[in-house]
Amino acid sequence: MIVGGLGFSVLTDLQQYPRKRSLKLHSRFVLLMTVLLIVFGMIIILGAEYDNPLTLGPMSLLDKLENAFFQSITPRTAGFSAIDQGNLTSQSQGLTMLLMFIGGSPGSTAGGIKTVTFGLLIATVISVVRGRDDTEIFHRRISNRLVNRAIAVMVISLGVIVIPILILVTLNPHLPSSQIMFETMSAYGTVGLSTGITAMFSEISKFILVITMFIGRVGPLTVLFALAERARSKNQLRYPEGRIHIG
């Protein structure tokens, strides 16, 4: 699951590492984000589910560590379930939804907005807080065009998720909103995890989930490629710069 979520370019870079003795900036950033998400997710899930009698509570310490590690990895790509997702605490369900939203890395078999997009946005926020004009990663400056693409992917993805959630909550008032959000996030991230309420959806609701899965598989990736392929004209008209207040 981890290898499948790294991306083919990172795998190629790792394969050439014994000869080159160096990794590209993209590969280093992907590996950093992957490790951070796995460790962060494992710690939160272990703490939230440690005494939960319906999940990790009855297990030995070693089994708790193993299942927390597994639950931290599976939402971002594979969707295998070692514990009942419907019995997770609200903290763990919220974290699982976040991990499904982030997904894997660019060029991988996973869905989501991708680890690089999420990490780039965090790096941008850190740069703004520190008063820097440029987003910096590993002492390298990231162009504003890439930052703008990351913001565009995030905003589009949020819109694609929020609209189905609102529709499904309206069509299924008898089902918990949190579980509907979980199912929608899983569909968008093409993960496959479920709290067990999918069978209770109406036919229209299931069709909405199908559309969400389709958009989640091709949407952000297609938008990213479209933005990357769009050549910027040298004679592009530029308006005078204006100022607005943020925050």
Q: Where are the domains of the chain?
A: 8-229
Q: How far apart are the first and last CA of the chain?
A: 39
Pick from 168, 156, 177: which is nearest to 209 by CA? Answer: 168
Q: Which amino acid is at 174?
A: H
Q: Within its chain, how far is the Cα of 206 from the centroid?
A: 22
Q: How far apart are CA 86 and CA 108, in angstroms?
A: 28
| Apex 203 CA angle, 211 and 75, nearest 5 | 50
Q: How far is CA 95 from CA 10, 148, 200, 201, in A?
A: 26, 26, 24, 24
Please give the backbone phi and psi of residue 70, each rounded to the nearest 5 degrees, phi first.
-65, -45
| Apex 137 CA angle, 131 and 143, nearest 5 | 75
149, 227 Cβ separation under 8 angstroms: yes
Report the relative pairing of strands 135-137 and 140-142 from DSSP bridges. Answer: antiparallel
Pick from 71, 145, 158: which is nearest to 112 by CA? Answer: 158
Q: Model-level pTM? A: 0.85
Does residue 227 sit in helix, strand or coil? helix
Pick from 191, 183, 189, 177: which is nearest to 208 by CA? Answer: 183
How do the pLDDT tens digits run along the chain, 247 residues long? Answer: 999 889 899 999 999 988 888 899 999 999 999 999 999 999 999 999 999 999 999 999 999 999 999 999 999 888 898 899 989 999 999 999 999 999 988 888 888 889 999 999 999 999 999 888 889 898 889 888 889 888 988 988 898 899 999 999 999 999 999 999 999 999 998 898 999 898 899 899 999 999 998 888 876 656 556 655 554 545 566 777 666 555 5
Q: Which residues fall within 8 angstroms of residue 150, CB to CB, at 6 or more apart?
A: 116, 117, 120, 121, 124
Q: Within its chain, how far is the Cα of 94 from the centroid?
A: 13
The pair of structure tokens assigned to 123 is 């790096």
